[in-house]
Amino acid sequence: MAGGKVKKEKGKPHQQQKHMPYQGGISFHKSKGQHILKNPLLVDSIVEKAGVKSTDVILEIGPGTGNLTKKLLEAGKKVIAIEIDPRMVLELQRRFQGTPHSNRLTVIQGDVLKTELPYFDICVANIPYQISSPLTFKLLKHEPAFRAAIIMFQREFAMRLVAQPGDKLYCRLTVNTQLHARVFHLLKVGRNNFRPPPKVDSSVVRIEPRKPRIEVKQKEWDGFLRICFNRKNKTLGSIFRQKSVISLLEKNYRTVRALELGQEDSLKEVDAKMDFSSFGDDQGMEMDDDGADDDEMEVEDGEADEVQSEFKDKVLGVLKEGDFEEKRSSKLTLQEFLYLLSLFNKAGIHFS
């Protein structure tokens, strides 16, 4: 309930670290990323840069107390807002009830990550940063594709989304996002525009889903990028020489061949011979990685780990064919990644 008492944590009678006071009586929960936009000029600027049309159905994620919602209602035809916190939902109802906007606002109470998204033309949102990655990919998977999403992210996350080959922040998240969308940086936002101020600066970006979509087999693509970005500054030749990588690809190769030939026995034989422990469950193709650890090593590398085999020659042959052996993922364009994957697939080499 808005204006309710702040619950004190057990054993910490004088501490209310997670609850920040708010002049209107509502308290903000950091755990829900509640940093409310307090600068009306900034709110105007976001709505203006979003290019909202008067015919637009707008999706807002995390409307909070409704500062952005109000401007969106003024600009568009309809706002559908998804808010996890029932206190905020009440606050919104109270704020817009009896106003000319009330019948054009629908508030859905729930976790946006667990909610089936409605149809919308444009999404405008100041989101809780902890859901940045899964939310971005939920939006990018959404059908039918919307015109654009204008979203406030933590600055570093935003810069990863818009990074170009060769930029320090260029990572798997960048390539995965840019496969599905064109992304533009719109606005830098300092932390003092929020109440309470977050610990980080922010940026507003514009995400435009590609139309038509670039079609890839998602598991194949994810598996491929995971390997390429395992050490993004190493040459692809060095990454694809690793024993663990060769083993995984050879297993996939034989699996596909065996399935094609319907040879179940040879499958069992392959499984018995190979050790794939270094990839294990990490082959899960979830898209929620924020890319922050792309420089971290998941697969051991090094000369000692190399294998000599015909299959390795096959893999390196593909790299040579496309002139990729000396190239590094940190500098590869989206088109080059797509081309390299197509060369691997043409040679019967698969990543899932």
User: Rule CB under 6 A: which residues touch ligand SAM?
Assistant: 32-37, 61-64, 67-68, 82-85, 88, 111-113, 126-128, 131
Beta pairing partners, 306: 242
> Minimum Å distance from CB 124 to ligand SAM?
9
Decide whether 146 or 229 has the Cβ nearer to ligand SAM. Answer: 146
CA angle (304, 310, 312) in 5-degree steps = 50
Structure tokens at 28: 């903000």
For ligand SAM, the closer of residues 112 and 207 by Cβ is: 112
**Annotated binding residues for S-adenosyl-L-methionine, as ranges?**
35, 37, 62, 83, 111, 126
134: preceding bond cis by omega (within 30 degrees): no
Could you tell me the smallest distance in angstroms from the CB atom of residue 233 to ligand SAM?
Answer: 34
> What are the tokens at 8?
């004190």
Give the pair of three-digit tokens for residue 175: 């390539």
**Helix and strand counts by DSSP (H, E) for the chain:** 12, 11
- Written as six digits, the tokens of 285 are 């193709």
Q: Residues at the annotated binding site? A: 35, 37, 62, 83, 111, 126
Contacts for 3 with CB less than 8 Å, ≥ 6 apart: 24, 25, 26
Q: Which is nearer to ligand SAM, 131 or 245 (CB)?
A: 131
In angstroms, the CA 338 to CA 72 distance is: 38
Q: How far is the CB of 101 from ligand SAM (least distance, A)?
A: 16
By beta-carbon proximity to ligand SAM, the closer residue of 112 and 171 is 112
Least Å from the CB of residue 200 to ligand SAM: 12
Output the smallest distance, CB 196 to ligand SAM, in A.
Answer: 11
**Tokens representing 185?**
């940086």
Kindly tell me which of 157 and 344 has the beta carbon lying closer to ligand SAM. 157
Exposure string of 44-82, with b = 16+ CB inside 10 Å and e = fewer, is ebbbeebebeeebbbbbbbbbbbbbbbbbbebbebbbbb
Q: Parallel, antiparallel, or unpaired for β 78-83 and 105-109?
A: parallel
C-beta closer to ligand SAM: residue 118 or 166: 118
Nearest approach, Cβ of 122 to ligand SAM (angstroms)? 15
352 near 285, Cβ under 8 Å?
yes
Q: How far apart are CA 22 and CA 122, in angstroms?
A: 30
